[in-house]
Amino acid sequence: MKTKTIFVCQNCGAQSPRWVGKCQSCDSWNSYVEEASVVYPESEKLRTQIISQANHVPVLLKEVQIHQEKRFFTGIGEFDRVIGGGLVPASVTLIGGDPGIGKSTIVLQAGCALSRAGLRVLYVSGEESIKQAKMRADRVAQSANENFFIVNDIDVQLIINHISELKPQVVIIDSIQVVFLSEITSAPGSVSQVRESAAVLTQLSKQRGFVLLMVGHVTKEGMIAGPRVLEHMVDTVLYFEGERYSSYRVLRANKNRFGSTNEIGVFEMATNGLQEVLNPSQIFLSERGQETSGSVVVPILEGTRPFLVEIQSLVARSAFGMVRQKAEGFDQNRLALLAAVLEKRLGLNLADKDIFLNVVGGVKIIDPAADLAVALAVASALLDKPVPADTVILGEVGLGAEVRSVAQLASRINEAEKLGFSRCLLPRNNMKNKMEKPKQIHLVAVSSIREALDKLQTLEVV
């Protein structure tokens, strides 16, 4: 049979009848690859067979009985909290991250833990041989039992056969970019292969009720490689973040149908695998200098978990015609906005200065409560006046240099109090709310950035 071909963008999945250099949808260059424009009857038959076996019939919504959902706990507290308190049966989770960040390690540790809990686990290793996977399991000190099965296959049809024979409760695919459907002519990792393979495995998971964990590669922009529809069809999307030369990793949920997307888990990559960091505040502040200008500590909130991070700023005269504003772990546009507020409202001369901002530990801050800490860190670096080391600062900043209230203040202050801080600069409006006053930390209320600077000058540097 004569097969027509089309060109598909490997970045966004856009289609074109002929090759073009630049994609009109995502503006990427040289991303179009020739692929078959038809789906072979065998592939269509496979998907139809899986869907028909589910035997779905319409029901009245009011007659649906709701029961407490059963979850499978991996025993890795940081992982279980991020996914909402455990893995839900028939759920599909996609884990992405940079190469070497620890994606395969975390799913291997989770699989071994689930097998020790009595669940039957099938680990499909598409990138490593069985012996290589065993060597990695021994290296990270993971012991499996008779419930943990591993196979080296990348053909989806063979994977389905293994699932039918073993009837596992948890299936791990490492990774979705290497598996393929033999009926599709494009190479593994292409948009068509990733989309169709993920769709078949996802439908099989929903039909048979097993948990599906899929590891995904990321592009240079940090997004999951393949079509964006891949993130839409799964239940949970997790991203591993961290600096290449840092041992700390942050697991963040970008999408979660069974829990919050604001939770994060902190891990440390050690010789025996990923270890949970139960007190990240203490680690992030362990090497902080005592009398350094531009250094400020802020209690941020990620989901229900408060922890303290150090923000460092450096302000120097620009040696070029155009000033630079660089930020690591903080939104660069937000930094430019705060710098404009400092210059316009407080009269600080930043027009000819380079501003550099860094969040220690590789953490990425999205909490607006860090605005005041960033603004005071820049001001401290410009004036070369250290902020007292026993002081934490929090508050959202408006365009008029006013300091606005923040949420869940009590949990933030309790975290600072546990680590021995004695003062806290906070928004004045937060003091109007009824809150039990802490015993060991002094609260200093401010209503503007100027008032905060004035209060800091009256405090002694420890």
Q: Is the pLDDT of residue 435 over 80?
A: no
Task: For residue 116, give the nearest of 140, 139, 75, 145 by alpha carbon.
Answer: 145
For range 125-131, the mean pLDDT: 89
State residue 201 phi and psi, 5-degree precision: -70, -35
The per-residue pLDDT for 396 is: 95
Q: How far does the chain reach from its first CA to its final CA, in angstroms?
A: 81
The per-residue pLDDT for 462 is: 41
* Structure letter (DSSP) for residue 369: G
Both tokens of residue 324? 């630079």
Q: Is the pLDDT of residue 205 over 50?
A: yes
Percentage of the residues of the chain whose pLDDT score is greater than 90: 40
Contact (Cβ atoms closer than 8 angstroms) between residue 119 and residue 257: no
Both tokens of residue 153? 């296959």
Q: How many CA atoms lie within 13 A of 175 on its CB side?
A: 20
The distance of Cα 277 from the centroid of its chain, to the nearest Å, equals 16
Task: For residue 219, give the nearest of 450, 431, 11 by alpha carbon.
Answer: 11
In this prediction, residue 392 has a pLDDT band, given cuts at 50, 70 and 90, of very high
**pTM of the complete model:** 0.74
Q: Pairing state of beta strands 396-397 and 403-404?
A: antiparallel
The per-residue pLDDT for 125 is: 92
Q: Pairing state of beta strands 305-317 and 170-174?
A: unpaired
Across 186-190, 371-375, 380-384, 451-455, least confident range: 186-190
Mean pLDDT score across all residues of the chain: 85
Q: Which residue has the higher pLDDT, 28 or 365?
A: 365
Both tokens of residue 9? 């963008």
Listed in sequence order, the residues at least 6 apart from 426 whose beta carbon sits closer than 8 Å to its beta carbon are 394, 395, 406, 409, 413, 443, 444, 445, 446
Q: Pairing state of beta strands 211-216 and 170-174?
A: parallel
The number of helix segments (H) and strand segments (E) in the chain equals 12, 21
Contact (Cβ atoms closer than 8 angstroms) between residue 194 and residue 184: no
The per-residue pLDDT for 323 is: 87
Q: Is the pLDDT of residue 315 over 90?
A: yes
For range 325-343, the mean pLDDT: 94
Rg of the chain's alpha carbons, rounded to an integer?
A: 26
In this prediction, residue 402 has a pLDDT band, given cuts at 50, 70 and 90, of very high
Q: Is the pLDDT of residue 449 over 50?
A: yes
The per-residue pLDDT for 398 is: 94
For range 17-37, the mean pLDDT: 79
Both tokens of residue 1? 């049979």
**Run of H or E residues at 5:** strand 5-9
The per-residue pLDDT for 461 is: 46
For range 123-134, the mean pLDDT: 90
Contact (Cβ atoms closer than 8 angstroms) between residue 461 and residue 388: yes
Give the pLDDT confidence of 223-263 residue by residue, as tens digits: 676 667 788 889 999 998 877 677 888 898 889 998 888 78
The per-residue pLDDT for 1 is: 43
Q: Which residue has the higher pLDDT, 210 or 229?
A: 210
The per-residue pLDDT for 266 is: 87
Across 12-21, 125-134, 220-229, 439-448, least confident range: 220-229
